[in-house]
């Protein structure tokens, strides 16, 4: 057998850390054969991005290959200079970067950026480059390619930008494409279309693909072989089917159990709806924003739903569907243009100043991004304590007791109380945000994509925590998400939102098993991991 | 308004009671480690500023000679062992005059920065946090101030207030209000949109409490950086005003005045102008370097 297309052999990579060096990749070996799809799966911090950056010679400043070899079709390229690598990159290996939003130059047209790779590697005339660029854009499924050539990145959606990046990556028919989380920043339906596109292009030209992802579901659907990374070393490797059906390492089993998937059972049986009036009633809610022209832009249009106390209602939709506007209106941060919102029997429109402030005790919001929702200058203790200072005075000792209690309840070690958010991981920060929301003992908790920014394992832990809190305190959750699999796991009833209108409503079972609206069906079909075997439960730990 | 500082002091004293010796050792070790990691240019900048501050606090320790009374027959002497930087036209020791002048230039710069910082930050904070009409009015006023050349503005204010070191400092400070206000406003607008500020309102915080607890502390980092930068600029501006005769009256050994007095003798005794000039340049550069360090390490 000839040498594999890419052979990584005992590769060590470290970063400068003050005077010392911190090793993040520990002797990883990995092969990719021609035409094969290998998925590199791991959580954030597992060293997967560093590994592929080393392969393509783009380690950030301070990064260094300490040992091992990277062989491309038998030639070791680990020690090559940037100039020698330049001849390789684009031509034989290319990269589809992680974040389409920041990977295109905002001041250059799409045409200039697609044409650049052709200009650098091929001697082509202007007309030929234009011709080839048009072909490429058509190939990646962009509508009106001639129009796109003259447009700038900000005029394109995230999915379209990712298509442009794929066009650039496949322009020279390289033998290996590295895709570093190519779809993490995109909505599920867009994600599916982009992955399908990469698959098609790859199959047509026999290109090998090294797919870096944190999502085992994506890996299960697309890869021939899977390599599971943790803390910079390989946990498990093998054919995709074998790794998924008979994982050998405990870590892989944990990962598999934590993936939210449609096949997964609900975390707990559906609670019997409690007696009493509904916790949240939204009636024909509408919200306009001043638009570009004279006509205002209607973000939410005639939305109605009710949430029974003690249950979880999910609002599902892609970005721009009006989810955020809806919940901001429900917590009283924005006033609706029309319609009525009742929270715990109170009509929000009647609240002003002090009554509005008092209302905030009953309903709290947990934000999507735990990195921006905590004040970087406060200690964890001060963050969790703050809501208590806003209402009637509570004695200092009593405050400290309540803070310690809730912090312990959300599963944070008490040693973190004096630390600042920067010292915490994403999952820990989200626990702090939940503790801050619960310290006032609200009746309703609104979770705005509260687990979307987290790794699957952490996500599963937070979901279990939320579930436990609900059972314990009889909380009502309004759970906003674009991730249907997560919704399936935690919610009782669901509203599917598209362009500000509810396209489908009902219990989770009814909507997921018998979707009536084609859009809902699309959303469900787009969830990655449909090829995953039904997971086995793993002992809860949150 | 005082809740935050009291809490900080309380936690500090608690830590001190539990293990004072260990804490002291940790601080000492941390200090040395921090010093080793600091770039040498920054250490030098701090040394320059520290020296000048010491000059201002205790000039007698550094220069024994009288800065005001001269000895006529020792006029225009070049630098020597007796007179480190030579003497001026009236036979006064130049080194002593520079050392004793530090207090005038530094206190002037301090007053100027304080005036600019307090007035500018308050204006910017109110404009950024309130928004709407208040914002519009304050920022147009600031635009107008920015449109007038700083020196001209300072001179105008001095003409209104009268001559003197303190008035010159106030004039320089008022001229810098606009840049402080602009920077503060932009920072406040940035912080005001952050999730944690919205979360603070969402948990029942009132406008002023959220402003005090979250918006102000998180906006101040770059404002402090600007203050350090303005400190250098203020020394330069006060020297300029002194040079033009709008600042301290002779025989005060203010730095700008020293440079002005020496310029008549520049061909025969260049040190009289050069030495204080170099001191001003060093102090301004050091202040610049330190301000960059502030701006570059958001903590």
pLDDT tens, position by position, A272-284: 556 677 888 888 8
What CA–CA distance (Å, rounded) separates B287 from B113?
Answer: 12
Mean per-residue pLDDT for B131-135? 88
User: pLDDT grade, residue B186 (50/70/90)?
Assistant: very high
Per DSSP, the three-state class of A39 is strand
In this predicted model, what pLDDT tens digit does every residue of A503-516 receive, in sequence order? 888 888 888 888 88
B255 plus B181 within the same structural domain: yes
- Tell me: do B234 and B163 sit in the same domain: yes
> How far off is chain A from B202, nearest CA to CA, in Å?
6
Give me the pLDDT at residue A541, please: 40
Are the beta carbons of B97 and B67 closer than 8 angstroms?
yes
Q: Are residues B107 and B33 in the same domain?
A: no
Span B148-165, average pLDDT: 87
pLDDT at A393 > cutoff 90: no
Nearest to B199 among A358, A373, A440 (CB): A373
| pLDDT score, position B15 | 41
For chain B positions 212-251, those within 8 Å of chain A (CB to CB) are 213-214, 217-218
Q: What is the mean pLDDT of residues B49-70?
A: 81
Q: Judging by beta carbons within 10 Å of its beta carbon (0-12, 13-18, 19+), is residue A196 exposed, middle or buried?
A: middle
Q: Of residues A210 and A539, which shows the higher confidence score?
A: A210
Q: State the total domains in chain B.
A: 2
CA-nearest of A488, A153, A456, A503 to A322 is A503
Give the residue-averaged pLDDT of A63-77. 86
pLDDT at residue A481 above 80? Answer: yes
Mean pLDDT of A154-174: 87
pLDDT interval class at A265 (50, 70, 90): low
**pLDDT at position A84 over 90:** no
Q: Are residues B28 and B145 in the same domain?
A: no
Residue B117's pLDDT band (boundaries 50, 70, 90)? very high
Question: Least CB-CB distance to A374: which of B196, B202, B203?
Answer: B196
User: Which residue of chain B has the CA closest to A18?
Assistant: B37
Q: How far is A193 from A198, CA to CA, in rounded Å? A: 9
Please say if the pLDDT value at position B281 is more than 60. Answer: yes
Same domain? B29 vs B72: no
Are residues B200 and B93 both part of a single domain? Answer: yes
User: Residues B125-153: what's their mean pLDDT?
Assistant: 90
Chain A interface includes B205 (CB < 8 A): yes
pLDDT above 90 (res B284): no
Do B294 and B288 contact (CB within 8 A), yes or no?
no
DSSP for residue A273: P
**Cβ separation A377–B202 shorter than 8 A:** no
Higher-confidence residue: A540 or B146? B146
What is the pLDDT averaged over residues B179-195? 90
Q: What is the pLDDT of residue B24?
A: 62
Residues of chain A contacting residue B218, judged by C-beta atoms under 8 Å apart: 375-377
With cut-offs at 50, 70 and 90, classify the pLDDT of residue B4: very low
Which residues on B lie below 8 Å from A372 (Cβ)? 194-196
| Cβ–Cβ contact A361 with B under 8 A | yes
Q: What is the dihedral of CA A261, A263, A267, A271, to 10 degrees?
A: 120
Contact flag A386-B213 (C-beta cutoff 8 Å): yes
Q: Please, which pLDDT band fits residue B14 given cuts at 50, 70 and 90?
A: very low
Confidence of residue B298 (pLDDT cuts 50, 70, 90): very low
Element (H, E) at A316: strand A312-316
pLDDT band, very low/low/confident/very high, at B33 (cuts 50, 70, 90): low
Same domain, B30 and B128: no
Tally A–B CB contacts below 8 A: 57
How do residues A180-227 score in pLDDT, each as one tens digit?
Answer: 888 776 777 778 888 888 888 888 888 899 999 888 888 888 889 999
A244 pLDDT tier (thresholds 50, 70, 90): confident
The answer to whether the CB of A243 falls within 8 A of the CB of A228 is: yes
Structure confidence by residue, pLDDT tens digits, B87-104: 777 778 888 888 888 888
Predicted local confidence at residue B8, as pLDDT:
40
B205/A386 Cβ within 8 A:
yes
Give the whole-number percent of chain A exceeding pLDDT 90: 7
Decide if B195 contacts B278 (C-beta within 8 A).
Answer: no
Cα A172 to the center of its chain, rounded Å: 30
For chain A, the average pLDDT equals: 84
* CB contact at 8 A, A231 and A47: yes
pLDDT at B140 > cutoff 90: yes
Average pLDDT over residues A56-74: 85
Query: Is B203 within 8 Å of A436 when comparing Cβ atoms?
Result: yes
Its ipTM equals 0.70
Q: Do B191 and B272 have their domain in common?
A: yes
Asked if the Cβ–Cβ distance from B199 to A367 is below 8 Å, we say: yes
Is residue B40 over pLDDT 90? no
Instruction: Read off the pLDDT of each residue in A348-357 and give the average, rounded to a whole number.
Output: 80
Q: Is the pLDDT of residue B181 over 90?
A: yes
A18: contact with B, CB 8 A cutoff: yes
**Which residues from chain B sit within 8 angstroms of residue A333, using beta carbons?**
198, 201-202
CA pair distance A71, A30, nearest whole angstrom: 10
Q: Are A341 and A329 spatial neighbours (Cβ–Cβ below 8 Å)?
A: yes
pLDDT at B1 over 50: no
Give B-chain residues touching A330 at CB under 8 angstroms: none
The interface residues of chain A toward chain B in range 367-396, judged by CB-CB distance below 8 A, are: 367, 369, 372-378, 382, 386-387, 389-391
Q: Does residue B119 carry a pLDDT above 90?
A: yes
Looking at the structure, tell me whether residues B14 and B56 fall in a common domain: no
pLDDT above 70 covers what percent of chain A?
Answer: 93
Q: Identify whether the C-beta of residue A191 lies closer than 8 Å to the C-beta of residue A522.
A: no
**B278 phi and psi, to 5 degrees?**
-65, -40
DSSP code of A94?
Answer: E
Please, how many CA atoms are within 13 Å of residue B273, restricted to the half-sphere of its CB? 12
- Show Cβ contacts of residue A192 under 8 Å, excluding neighbours closer than 6 positions: A525, A526, A528
Q: Chain A within 8 Å of B190 (Cβ-Cβ)?
A: no
Set of chain A residues whose Cβ sits within 8 Å of the Cβ of B200:
375, 386
* Residue entry with tokens 């010679």: A57
Same domain, B125 and B231: yes
* pLDDT value, residue B299: 37
Residue predicted with more confidence, B67 or A308: A308
SS (H, E, C) A5-42: CEEEEEEEEEEEECCEEEEEEEEEEEEECCCCEEEEEC
Helices (H), chain B: 3-18, 20-37, 40-57, 59-62, 94-130, 132-147, 150-161, 165-175, 177-192, 195-202, 207-210, 216-244, 255-262, 271-296
Considering only residues A510 and B71, tell me which one the structure prediction assigns the higher pLDDT.
A510
Chain A: closest CA distance from residue B190 (Å): 12
Asked if A176 contacts A107 with a C-beta cutoff of 8 angstroms, the reply is no
A410-468 pLDDT, tens digit each = 888 888 888 888 888 778 888 899 999 989 888 899 998 888 777 778 888 888 888 88
Q: Are residues B78 and B132 in the same domain?
A: yes
Cβ–Cβ gap B199/A376 under 8 Å: no
A372:B196 CB<8 A: yes
A324 touches chain B (CB under 8 A): no
Torsion of Cα atoms, A248 then A249 then A250 then A255, to 10°: -100
pLDDT recorded at residue A2: 61
Reported confidence tier of residue B2, pLDDT bands at 50, 70, 90: very low
Q: Which residue, among B259, B262, B263, has the nearest Cα to B243 in the 3D structure?
A: B259
Range of the domain at B222: 43-295
CA–CA gap between residue A275 and residue B239 (Å, rounded): 78
The residue ranking higher by pLDDT, A435 or B11, is A435
Mean pLDDT is lowest, of A64-68, A363-367, B247-251, for B247-251
Higher pLDDT, A201 or B19: A201
B81 and B19 within one domain: no
List the one residue out of B39, B37, B41, B100 whose CA is nearest residue B285.
B41
CATH of the domain at B140: 1.10.3720.10
């Amino acid at each position: 057998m000839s040498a594999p297309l890419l052979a990584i052999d005992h590769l060590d990579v470290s970063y400068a850390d003050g005077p010392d060096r911190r090793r993040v990749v520990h002797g990883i070996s990995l092969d990719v054969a021609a035409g094969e799809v290998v998925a590199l799966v791991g959580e954030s911090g597992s060293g997967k991005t560093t590994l592929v950056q080393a392969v393509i010679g783009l380690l950030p400043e301070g990064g260094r290959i300490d040992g091992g070899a990277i062989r491309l079709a038998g030639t070791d390229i680990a020690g090559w200079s940037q100039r020698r690598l330049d001849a390789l990159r684009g031509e034989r290996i290319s990269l589809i970067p992680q974040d389409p939003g920041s990977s295109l130059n905002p001041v250059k047209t799409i045409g200039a950026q697609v044409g650049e790779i052709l200009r650098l590697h091929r001697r082509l005339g202007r007309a030929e480059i234009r011709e080839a660029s048009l072909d490429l854009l058509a190939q990646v499924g962009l509508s009106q390619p001639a129009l796109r050539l003259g447009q700038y990145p900000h005029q394109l959606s995230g999915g379209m930008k990712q298509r442009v990046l794929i066009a650039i990556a496949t322009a020279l028919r390289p033998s290996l494409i590295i895709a570093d989380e190519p779809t993490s920043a995109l909505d599920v339906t867009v994600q599916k279309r982009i992955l399908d596109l990469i698959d098609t292009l790859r199959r047509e030209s026999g290109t090998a693909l090294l797919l870096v992802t944190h999502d085992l579901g994506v890996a299960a659907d697309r890869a021939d072989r899977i390599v599971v990374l943790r803390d910079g070393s390989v946990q498990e490797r093998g054919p995709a089917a074998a790794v998924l059906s008979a994982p050998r390492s405990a870590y892989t089993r944990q990962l598999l159990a934590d993936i939210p998937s449609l096949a997964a059972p609900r975390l707990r049986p559906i609670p019997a709806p409690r007696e009493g009036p509904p916790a949240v009633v939204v009636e024909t809610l509408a919200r306009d924003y001043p638009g570009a022209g004279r006509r205002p832009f209607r973000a939410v249009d005639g939305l109605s739903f009710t949430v029974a106390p003690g249950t979880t209602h999910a609002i599902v939709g892609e970005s721009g569907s009006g989810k955020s506007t809806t919940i901001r209106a429900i917590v009283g941060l924005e006033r609706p243009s029309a319609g009525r919102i009742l929270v715990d029997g109170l009509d929000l429109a009647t609240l002003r100043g002090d009554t509005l402030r008092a209302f905030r005790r009953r309903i709290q919001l947990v934000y999507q991004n735990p990195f921006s929702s905590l004040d970087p200058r406060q200690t964890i203790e001060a963050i969790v304590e703050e809501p208590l200072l806003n209402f009637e005075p509570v004695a200092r000792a009593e405050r400290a007791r309540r803070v310690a209690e809730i912090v312990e309840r959300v599963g944070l070690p008490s040693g973190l109380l004096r630390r600042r958010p920067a010292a915490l991981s994403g999952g820990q920060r989200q626990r702090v945000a939940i503790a801050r929301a619960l310290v006032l003992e609200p009746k309703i908790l609104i979770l705005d994509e509260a687990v979307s920014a987290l790794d699957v394992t952490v996500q599963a832990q937070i979901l279990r925590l939320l579930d436990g809190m609900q059972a314990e305190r009889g909380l009502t959750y309004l759970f906003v998400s674009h991730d249907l699999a997560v919704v399936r796991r935690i919610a009782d009833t669901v509203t599917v939102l598209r362009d500000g209108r509810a396209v489908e409503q009902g219990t989770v079972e009814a909507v997921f098993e018998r979707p009536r609206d084609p859009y809902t069906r699309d959303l469900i079909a787009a969830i990655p991991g449909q090829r995953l075997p039904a997971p086995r439960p793993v002992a809860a730990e949150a | 308004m005082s809740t935050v500082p009291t809490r900080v002091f309380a936690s500090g004293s608690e830590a001190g009671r539990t293990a004072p010796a260990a804490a002291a050792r940790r601080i000492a070790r941390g200090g040395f480690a921090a010093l080793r990691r600091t770039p040498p240019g920054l250490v030098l900048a701090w040394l320059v500023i520290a020296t000048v501050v010491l000059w201002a606090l205790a000039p007698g320790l550094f220069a024994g000679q009288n800065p005001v009374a001269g000895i006529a027959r020792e006029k225009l002497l070049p630098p020597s062992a007796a007179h480190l930087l030579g003497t001026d036209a009236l036979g006064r020791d130049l080194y002593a005059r520079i050392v004793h002048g530090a207090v005038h230039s530094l206190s002037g710069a301090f007053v100027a920065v304080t005036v600019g910082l307090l007035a500018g930050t308050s204006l910017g904070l109110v404009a950024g946090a309130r928004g709407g009409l208040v914002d519009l009015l304050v920022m147009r006023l600031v635009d107008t101030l920015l449109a007038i050349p700083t020196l001209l503005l300072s001179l105008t204010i001095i003409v209104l207030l009268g001559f003197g070191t303190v008035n010159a400092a106030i004039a320089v400070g008022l001229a810098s209000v606009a840049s402080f206000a602009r920077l503060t406003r932009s920072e406040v607008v940035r912080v005001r949109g952050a999730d944690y500020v919205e979360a603070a309102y969402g948990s029942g915080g009132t406008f002023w409490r959220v402003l005090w607890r979250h918006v102000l502390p998180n906006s101040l980092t770059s404002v402090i950086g600007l203050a350090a930068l303005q400190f250098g600029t203020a020394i330069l501006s006060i020297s300029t005003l002194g040079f033009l005769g709008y600042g301290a009256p002779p025989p005060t050994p203010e730095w700008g005045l020293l440079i002005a007095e020496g310029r008549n003798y520049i061909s025969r005794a260049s040190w009289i102008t050069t030495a204080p000039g170099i001191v001003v340049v060093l102090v301004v550069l050091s202040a610049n370097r330190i301000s960059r360090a502030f701006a570059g390490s958001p903590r």
